[in-house]
Amino acid sequence: MQKFNLKGTNVLEYICSLVNYSDEKLTEAQNELYEWIRDYVRDFQHSPSIRQMMSAMGLKSPAPIQSRLKHLQDKGFISWQEGKARTLKLVDEIIDGIPIKGSVAAGGLIETFTDVQENLDITDVCKKKDVFALTVNGDSMIDACIADGDMVLMEPIRDSYSIKNGTIVSAMVPGSGSTLKYFFKRGGKCFLEAANPAYDPIELNLDEVIFQGKLLAVWRKI
């Protein structure tokens, strides 16, 4: 069964940082830490440790630093994985989208792009509540253009009975693991089908599966 790293959220945080739309203001303490982090990253080209932040702020406990970092993240000034200071990234720019510059041929040749035609708006993905990312391990969805090492952005599923046939879902079977597959419902049974003929469909009762989310987008870092 194809499994996922459920902690692989840093790519999603990065994408959403590109479309940061928070206009909340910082408190004096939060701003002091933010400006110090910004200067540190500029000088050393990497994020500081919690201990370094404690020392710079004159604190003896990590709790106030972690609290300030959480507020900075909630307000859209940084992205980070809680408890892992070295994953911290600054959000310095607000953009409206990614420029779409035309088309590129995957068959014959077509006229090349000359200027920006429009922007690819990804704010809707980031604005969806509780969107999360998973790292793909395996090739069972390769024919759906989802390869090993890709990141998939998922929207939580609130009602498993509302899932439409053909939806790509992340599903967890307690005691067995998680998998990314096409969902089909037939005669009261749930079928999780791969996009690779080398993998057999997984047949389960609906009450045996916990549906974590449905596919929104695929992120591939070249």
3-state secondary structure of 125: helix
Residue 177 has φ and ψ, to the nearest 5°, of: 130, -170
Give Cα separations from 36 to 26, 43, 114, 179 (angstroms).
14, 11, 42, 42
**Does the active-site annotation cover 181?**
yes
153 burial via Cβ count (<10 Å: 0-12, 13-18, 19+): buried
Q: Give, as one character, the DSSP assignment of residue 112.
A: P
140, 160, 178, 189: which is the annotated catalytic residue?
Answer: 140
Half-sphere exposure at residue 212, Cβ-oriented, CA atoms within 13 angstroms: 22
181, 185, 214, 221: which is the annotated catalytic residue?
Answer: 181
The H or E element that residue 11 is part of is: helix 10-18
The angle at the Cα of 156, spanning 152 to 157, to the nearest 5 degrees, equals 120
SS (H, E, C) 13-72: HHHHHHCCCCCCCCCHHHHHHHHHHHHHHHHHCCCCCHHHHHHHHCCCCHHHHHHHHHHH
Give the residue numbers marked as catalytic: 140, 181
